[in-house]
Amino acid sequence: MKKINTSPISGMQELLPGKQAIFNQLLAEITRVYHAHGFLSIETPVIDRTEILLAKAGGDTEKQIYKVVKTAETADDADQALRFDHTVPLARYVVEHESDLKFPFKVTQIGRNFRGERAQKGRFREFYQCDIDVIGRNKLPLGYDADVVATAYEALKTFVKPEILVRVSNRKILGGLLETLGLAEKSDVIFGIIDHAEKVPLEKTHAAYEEEGLNAEQIKTLEDFVEIRGTLEEVMPKLEEIFAHVGGETLREGIDELSFVLGNLEAQGLKGKVIADMLIIRGLDYYTGSVFETIIPEYKEIGSICSGGRYENLAGYYTDQQLPGVGISIGLTRLFYVLNEYGLLDDTERKVVDYCICPISENEYAFAAKVAAELRAEGNTVDVIYAGKSVGDKLKYAAAVATKGIVIGESEVESGKYEIKEFA
Amino acid sequence: MKKINTSPISGMQELLPGKQAIFNQLLAEITRVYHAHGFLSIETPVIDRTEILLAKAGGDTEKQIYKVVKTAETADDADQALRFDHTVPLARYVVEHESDLKFPFKVTQIGRNFRGERAQKGRFREFYQCDIDVIGRNKLPLGYDADVVATAYEALKTFVKPEILVRVSNRKILGGLLETLGLAEKSDVIFGIIDHAEKVPLEKTHAAYEEEGLNAEQIKTLEDFVEIRGTLEEVMPKLEEIFAHVGGETLREGIDELSFVLGNLEAQGLKGKVIADMLIIRGLDYYTGSVFETIIPEYKEIGSICSGGRYENLAGYYTDQQLPGVGISIGLTRLFYVLNEYGLLDDTERKVVDYCICPISENEYAFAAKVAAELRAEGNTVDVIYAGKSVGDKLKYAAAVATKGIVIGESEVESGKYEIKEFA
For A125-179, how does the pLDDT look when each residue is reduced to its tens digit (9 = 90+)?
999 999 999 999 999 999 999 999 999 999 999 999 999 999 999 999 999 999 9
> Considering Cα of B146, then B45, then B70, then A318, what sign does the dihedral take?
positive
Give CA–CA dist A255/A241, Å, rounded. 11
Q: Which of B350, B382, B414 is the last residue of a domain?
A: B350
A28 lies within 8 A of chain B by CB: no
Q: What is the predicted pLDDT for the residue at A316? A: 86
Q: Is A32 on the interface with B (CB under 8 A)?
A: no
Please count the helices (runs of H) and the strands (runs of E) in chain B. Answer: 15, 16
Whether A280 is covered by a domain: the verdict is no
| Domain co-membership, B175 together with B283 | yes
pLDDT band with cut points at 50, 70 and 90 for residue A275: very high
Residue B352 with chain A: CB contacts under 8 Å: 35, 40
User: What residues have CB less than 8 Å from B119, skipping those under 6 apart?
Assistant: A74, B10, B11, B125
Give me the helices (H) in A45-170, please: 50-53, 59-64, 87-96, 143-157
Q: Examine residue A104 and say whether the peptide bond preceding it is cis (omega within 30 degrees of 0).
A: yes
Contact B400/A102, CB-based, under 8 Å?
A: yes
Closest-CA distance of chain A to residue B343, Å: 20
Nearest residue of chain A to residue B4 (CA atoms): A318
One domain, residues A10 and A109: yes
Q: Sorting pLDDT into bands at 50, 70 and 90, what band is A64?
A: very high
**Structural domain range at position B290:** 165-295
In chain B, % helix, strand, coil (3-state, to 5) comes to 45, 20, 35
pLDDT digits (tens, 9 = 90+) for A356-408: 999 999 999 999 999 999 999 999 999 999 998 899 999 999 999 999 999 99
Tell me: cis bond preceding B324? Omega within 30 of 0 counts.
no
**Same domain, yes or no, for B39 and B154?**
yes
Long-range contacts of B304-309 (CB under 8 A, 24+ apart): B305/B156, B305/B160, B305/B164, B305/B330, B305/B331, B305/B334, B305/B335, B305/B338, B306/B152, B306/B156, B306/B166, B306/B330, B306/B331, B306/B335, B307/B282, B308/B148, B308/B152, B309/B171, B309/B282, B309/B285
Q: Are residues B96 and B208 in the same domain?
A: no
Instruction: Band the pLDDT of B347: cuts 50, 70, 90.
Output: low
Nearest CA-CA partner of B25 in B365, B401, B348: B348
A285 assigned to some structural domain? no
Assess if residue A101 is contained within a domain: yes
Q: With the CA atoms of B50, B53, B54 and B56 taken in that order, what torsion angle do they form, in degrees rounded to the nearest 10?
A: 150
Task: Give pLDDT, residue A107.
Answer: 98
Measured distance CA(A10)–CA(A124) in Å, rounded: 8
Task: Please list the residues that pair with B355 across neighbouring strands.
Answer: B382, B404
Do strands A126-135 and A325-331 pair parallel, antiparallel, or not at all (unpaired)?
antiparallel
Q: Does B3 touch chain A (CB under 8 A)?
A: yes
Among candidates A104, A370, A387 on the partner chain, residue whose Cβ is nearest the Cβ of B136: A387
**Statement: residue A284 has pLDDT above 70:** no
Question: Residue range B264-292: average pLDDT?
Answer: 92
Q: Nearest-CA distance from A210 to chain B in Å?
A: 33
Closest CA to B36 of A404, A364, A29, A355: A355
**Confidence (pLDDT) at B388:** 86
The CATH number given to whatever domain includes residue B201 is 3.30.930.10
* A5 & A132 share domain: yes
Give the distance from residue A383's alpha carbon to the nearest chain B alpha carbon, in angstroms: 4
Residues B46 and B122 in one domain: yes
Using DSSP's 3-state secondary structure scheme, residue A163 falls into coil
Amino acid at A378: E
* Rounded Cα–Cα distance for residues A34 and A329 (Å): 11
Which residues of chain A lie closer than 8 angstroms to B48, CB-CB? 8-9
Q: Name the minimum distance, in Å, from the CA of B189 to any CA of chain A.
A: 26
* B155-174 tens-digit pLDDT: 999 999 999 999 999 999 99
CA distances from A200 to A194, A203, A204, A207, B186 (A): 10, 8, 6, 11, 73
CA of A244, closest CA in chain B: separation in Å? Answer: 26
Provide the residue type at A188 as one letter.
Answer: D
A123 in any annotated domain? yes
**B20 with A12: Cβ contact below 8 A:** no
Per-residue model confidence as pLDDT tens digits over B58-89: 678 888 999 999 998 888 889 999 999 999 99
Q: Are residues B155 and B181 in the same domain?
A: no
- Are residues A3 and B144, on separate chains, in Cβ contact within 8 Å? no
Which residues in A346-401 belong to E strands, given as ranges? 353-359, 382-384
* The amino acid at B322: Q
Residue that is last in its domain, among B259, B277, B295? B295
User: Could you give the CA distance from residue B144 to residue A37 in angstroms, rounded to a whole number?
Assistant: 42
Q: Is the ipTM of this complex over 0.85?
A: yes
Q: With beta carbons under 8 A apart, name residues in chain B contacting A128.
A: none
> Which residues 6+ apart lie within 8 Å of B25 measured at CB?
B159
Q: How many domains, in total, are found in chain A?
A: 3
Chain B residue nearest residue A69, CA to CA: B67
- Indicate if A226 and A366 belong to the same structural domain: no
| Among candidate residues B328, B350, B372, the one where a domain is terminated | B350
Cα–Cα distance for residue pair B381/B354, rounded to 1 Å: 5
Residue A346 has pLDDT above 80, yes or no: no
Residues paired with B283 in a beta bridge: none
Q: Are residues B22 and B89 in the same domain?
A: yes
| B340 lies in some domain | yes
Contact residues on chain A for B80, CB-CB shorter than 8 A: 9
Residue B396: inside a domain, yes or no? yes
Helix (H, G, I), strand (E, B) or coil at A403: strand
Spatial separation of the C-alpha atoms in residues A245 and A169, rounded to whole Å:
20
Same domain, B236 and B305: no
Domain containing residue A398: CATH number: 3.40.50.800
Residue A185 domain flag: yes
* Residue B146 and residue B21 share a domain: yes
> pLDDT-based confidence at A349, cuts 50/70/90?
low
Q: Which long-range contacts (CB under 8 A, 24 or more apart) does A138-142 make?
A: A138/A322, A138/A324, A139/A324, A139/B387, A140/A104, A140/A310, A140/A324, A140/A325, A140/A326, A140/B387, A141/B386, A141/B387, A142/A257, A142/A260, A142/A261, A142/A264, A142/A290, A142/B386
B209-238 mean pLDDT:
96
Task: Say if pTM beats, i.e. exceeds, 0.90.
Answer: yes
The SS3 assignment for B392 reads helix
| Residue B306 φ/ψ, nearest 5 degrees | -165, 120
For residues A9 and A12, give the distance between their C-alpha atoms in angstroms, rounded to a whole number: 6
Q: What is the average pLDDT across B136-157?
A: 96
Nearest to A268 among B38, B264, B369 (CB): B369
Identity of the residue numbered A279:
L
Q: Are residues A205 and A247 in the same domain?
A: yes
